[in-house]
Amino acid sequence: MKIATWNVNSIKARLPNVVAWLKKAAPDVALLQELKTVEDGFPFLELEELGYNCAVAGQKSYNGVAVLSKHPIEIETKVLPGNDSDEQARYLEAFTGGIRVASIYLPNGNPTPGEKFDYKLAWMARLIEHARGLMALDEAVILGGDYNVCPTDADVFDPAGWADDALCRPESRARFRELLWLGYTEAFRTLHPDAARAWSFWDYQRGAWQQDNGVRIDHLLLSPMAADRLVACEIDKGPRGQQKASDHTPVWCELED
* 2-255 to CATH, choices 3.60.10.10, 3.30.420.40, 3.90.230.10, 3.10.310.30: 3.60.10.10
Question: pLDDT (tens digit, 9 = 90+) per residue, 244-254?
Answer: 999 999 999 99
Q: What is the mean pLDDT of residues 142-148?
A: 98
Question: What pLDDT, on a 0 to 100 scale, did the predictor assign at position 202?
Answer: 98
Question: pLDDT (tens digit, 9 = 90+) per residue, 45-72?
Answer: 999 999 999 999 999 999 999 999 999 9
Q: What is the mean pLDDT of residues 207-215?
A: 97
Q: What is the mean pLDDT of residues 212-222?
A: 98
Q: What is the mean pLDDT of residues 94-121?
A: 98
Could you tell me if 36 and 10 are in contact, meaning their C-beta atoms sit under 8 angstroms apart? yes
Question: What pLDDT, on a 0 to 100 scale, did the predictor assign at position 115?
Answer: 98
Q: What is the mean pLDDT of residues 182-203?
A: 98
Question: What pLDDT, on a 0 to 100 scale, did the predictor assign at position 226?
Answer: 98
Question: What pLDDT, on a 0 to 100 scale, did the predictor assign at position 134?
Answer: 98
**To the nearest whole percent, how much of the chain has pLDDT over 90?**
99
Q: How confident is the model at residue 123 (pLDDT cuts 50, 70, 90)?
A: very high
Phi/psi class of residue 94: alpha, beta or left (left: φ > 0; alpha: ψ in -120 to 50)? beta
Q: How confident is the model at residue 97 (pLDDT cuts 50, 70, 90)?
A: very high
Question: pLDDT (tens digit, 9 = 90+) per residue, 71-93?
Answer: 999 999 999 999 999 999 999 99
